[in-house]
Amino acid sequence: MSKDKLLFTREHEWLLAESGTAIIGISDYAQHEMGDVVYVELPALGRVFRQGDACGNIESVKAVSDIYSPLSGEITAVNEELNDRPELVNQDCYGNGWLFKIRIETPAELDAMMSSTAYEEYVSGLSGE
């Protein structure tokens, strides 16, 4: 998947919005900082979240981190493959390691997201590069 089409949050989630739905995952920066992912707790299908709500978590060898919903809406799909293969988050965070899909309830929330270029600038400031 081309990173140029993705939007990013300050919490290191990425999203790809298309046809009223967004696919959500965590960024390469986030998966790298976390280390080897050993478990992913995904939100339940049909649950409705507000933008910024914690909706799941990712456990790695280093820590457990919350997953935040970057948008308000209803969960329409989850990546069940992560139940048996959580390492996909490390191996292919922008592809087969996606987390969930959400129906976009408030399209204006997309305006607060960063482009891939803006996100790269943001994380370079975090790591002091």
Query: Mind listing the domains of the chain with CATH numbers?
Result: 3-127 (2.40.50.100)
Q: What is the DSSP string of the chain?
A: --GGG-EE-TTSEEEEEETTEEEEEE-HHHHHHH-SEEEEEPPPTT-EE-TT-EEEEEEESS-EEEEE-SS-EEEEEE-THHHH-TTHHHH-TTTTT--EEEE-S-GGGGGGSBPHHHHHHHHHHHHT-
pTM of the entire structure?
Answer: 0.93
Each residue's pLDDT, cut to its tens digit, for the chain (129 residues) gives 667 799 999 999 999 999 999 999 999 999 999 999 999 999 999 999 999 999 999 999 999 999 999 999 999 999 999 999 999 999 999 999 999 999 999 999 999 999 999 999 999 988 654
CA nearest 22: which of 110, 117, 91? 110
